[in-house]
Amino acid sequence: MVERAPVLDAVCHAILLVGVACVCVPLYLAFVAGSLTIGEVQQVPLPWLPGDQFVQNLRTAWTQANFGRLFLNSFIVALGITVGKIAVSLLSAFAITYFRFRFRMTAFWLIFVSLMLPIEVRISPTYESVANAALPVQWLVETLHLSQVWNAVTGHSIDIQLSWNMVDTYPGLILPLIASASATFLFRQFFLTVPDELCEAARIDGASPMHFFWTILLPLSRSNIAALAIILFLYGWNQYLWPLLFTTDKDMATAVIGLKHLIPRSDSQPAWNVAMSAALLTMLPPILVVVALQRSFVKGLVDSSK
Amino acid sequence: MAKPEAGLKRAHFKDVRLPVLLLLPQLAILLFFFFIPSFRALGQAFFLSDPFGNTVHFVGLDNFAQLLQSDTYHESVKATVVFTILQNLLTIAVALVLAFASDRVIRGRGIYKAIILLPYAIAPVIAGILWAFLFNPAVGPLAHVLHAIGFAWDPNRVGSDAMILVILAASWKHVCYDYIFLLAGLLAVPSSLLEAAAVDGAGPLKRFFSIGLPLLMPTMFFLAVMNFVYGFFEIFAIVDAVTQGGPAGATNVLVFKVYVDGFINLDLGSSAAQSVILMIFALFMTLLQFRYVERRVSYDV
How far is the C-alpha of B204 from the C-alpha of B186, rounded, in Å?
Answer: 13
Q: Dihedral of the CA atoms A217, A223, A224, A225 (nearest 10)?
A: 80
Distance CA B231, CA A122 (A): 17
B299 — pLDDT class (breaks 50, 70, 90): very low
Using CA atoms, how far residue A66 sits from A54, A203, A209, B147, B251, in Å, is 18, 55, 48, 37, 31
pLDDT of residue A137: 67
Interface mutation target, options B1, B3, B5, B9, chain A, most CBs of A under 10 Å = B9
Residue whose C-alpha is closest to residue B141's, from A55, A172, A41: A41
Average pLDDT on A266-288 reads: 86
Q: Is the pLDDT assigned to residue B2 strictly greater than 70?
A: no
Mean pLDDT value of segment B286-292: 72
Query: Which residue of chain A comes nearest to B270, CA vs CA?
Result: A124
Interface contact A122-B7, CB threshold 8 A: no
Give the tens place of pLDDT for each residue, A54-83.
888 888 888 888 888 999 999 999 999 999
* Residue A304 reports pLDDT greater than 70: no
Which residue is closest to A245 within chain B, CA to CA?
B263
The band of B298, judged by pLDDT with boundaries at 50, 70 and 90, is: very low
Give the range with max mean pLDDT: B66-70, B92-96, B253-257: B92-96
Q: Cβ(B48)–Cβ(B56) under 8 Å?
A: yes
Which of B185, B182, B178, B186 is CA-nearest to residue B208? B186
Amino acid occupying residue A130: V
Q: From chain A, pick out residues whose CB is under 8 angstroms from the CB of B297.
A: 302
Mean pLDDT on A142-168: 68
pLDDT of residue A23: 92
Average pLDDT, chain B: 84
Q: Which positions in chain A touch B9 (Cβ < 8 Å)? A: 97-98, 191-192, 194, 196, 199
Paired residues of A24 in beta bridges: none
Choose the weakest-confidence range: A138-142, B6-10, B56-60.
Answer: A138-142
Helix (H, G, I), strand (E, B) or coil at A1: coil
Q: Chain B contact for A66, CB < 8 A?
A: no
Residue of B171 and A2 predicted with greater confidence: B171
CA distance A93 to A70: 34
A222 burial level (CB within 10 Å; 0-12, 13-18, 19+):
exposed
Q: pLDDT value at position A265?
A: 75
Please write the tens of the pLDDT for every residue from B150-169.
888 888 888 889 999 999 99
ipTM: 0.85
pLDDT of residue B101: 93
Q: Helix H segments across chain B?
A: 17-30, 36-44, 62-69, 71-104, 109-117, 124-134, 141-148, 159-187, 191-199, 204-207, 213-233, 235-242, 254-259, 268-292
For residues A149-176, average pLDDT: 73
pTM of the model: 0.86
